[in-house]
Amino acid sequence: MSEWVWPAAALVFLAVSAVLAALLFRRSRPGRKRAPGPLAFSVGRVHERGARPSQQDSFAVSPPELEEERGLLLVLADGIGGLADGDKASQTAVNEMMNGFCTAEGSPEIVLLDLLRRANEAVNGTLGAEREGKSGSTLVAALLRDGWFHWISVGDSRIALLRGGVLHPLNREHVFRRELLLAAINGVGSLEDAMQNPRAAGLTSYLGMGVLRHVDVPAEPVRVLPGDRVVLMSDGVTNALEREELEELLSLPAEQAAEAVRIAVEAKNYPGQDNYTAIILEARERGKGKQ
């Protein structure tokens, strides 16, 4: 099964995703093209067990009636495979995020950070001190409010923006490979050994480990444009499908894209296919019908 790796992956940890997002999609300034009018959104979802005996991915989308007042919240969590109660950890994280969204106050950045704090505390509490680090979950969340896209992530699930047919990854994986690569740059070990280390894909930050080591947030939010797709994916999707395949599939209208992703992953027929989940949010000008 191929890993979803971008060009120059050996050095990708140096290019902080928040800086990339800020450079590519800065807020509109005087003299630039005016911001788009009100947007409407369509959501596609795919959520499958794959070849695993249980489903440890969890996800949720906030109800439409909250959108005008609070925005639209998307959350995806992937319970750590091979550890007990990964399903409970991911469900706890998603439920806590969604329940807290109904009452959380403040800017979108503060809301997401506060919801993450609540989710991590809930997962740690569910596991208990004696089981911290023995189970857990990744988490990615996106909040769309007033035409701006804000996000937060912990672990190795992915969040990306498809714009103009090109898929832009926005968050970093919190995996041991990055620490090995940094050590190699500082003269300890080699870059080749870091990429091939059998522990390279191990998570270095996840809900349920107690104190989080890493959290990814953007330097600035992204202005959502008509035709954009905001995509949240567990690694069951990104390990199964190449970037070029995803760009083609996700260019379809949201609901069709979700079904196309399901068909494409199934067609790979990998014997060890992980649980796979994707939430695909398609933006369009309000008043215009679905494509």
Give the residue with greater pLDDT, 14 vs 260. 260
Q: What is the pLDDT at residue 1? A: 43
Sign of CA dihedral 62, 169, 219, 284: negative
Residues 291, 281: Cα–Cα separation, whole Å: 13
Residues 158, 142: Cα–Cα separation, whole Å: 11
Q: Which residue has the tokens 């067609």?
A: 267
pLDDT above 80 for 140: yes
pLDDT above 80 for 14: no
CB 35 within 8 A of CB 283: no
CB 280 within 8 A of CB 243: no
Residues 222, 25: Cα–Cα separation, whole Å: 6
Q: What is the pLDDT at residue 286? A: 81
Residue type at 213? R
- Residues contacting residue 43 through CB under 8 Å, at least 6 positions apart: 61, 74, 254, 255, 279, 280, 281, 282
Q: How confident is the model over 179-233, as pLDDT tens digits?
A: 999 999 999 999 988 888 888 888 999 999 999 999 999 999 999 999 999 999 9
Q: What is the pLDDT at residue 38? A: 84
Q: What is the pLDDT at residue 262? A: 98
Q: What is the pLDDT at residue 223? A: 96
Residues 114, 273: Cα–Cα separation, whole Å: 34
Range in 145-159, 193-207, 232-246 the model is least confident about: 193-207
CB 268 within 8 A of CB 23: no
Percent of the chain with pLDDT over 70: 85
Distances (CA, A) of 152 to 20, 113, 140: 15, 8, 6
Alpha carbon 243 to its chain centroid, in Å, reads: 15
Give the residue with greater pLDDT, 46 vs 34. 46
Give the closest residue to 179 by CA, choosing from 213, 229, 223: 213
Pairing of strands 158-163, 166-169: antiparallel
Alpha carbon 89 to its chain centroid, in Å, reads: 16
Q: How confident is the model over 251-281, as pLDDT tens digits?
A: 999 999 999 999 999 999 999 999 999 999 9
pTM: 0.84
Tell whether domain 38-171+205-285 is in CATH 3.40.640.10: no
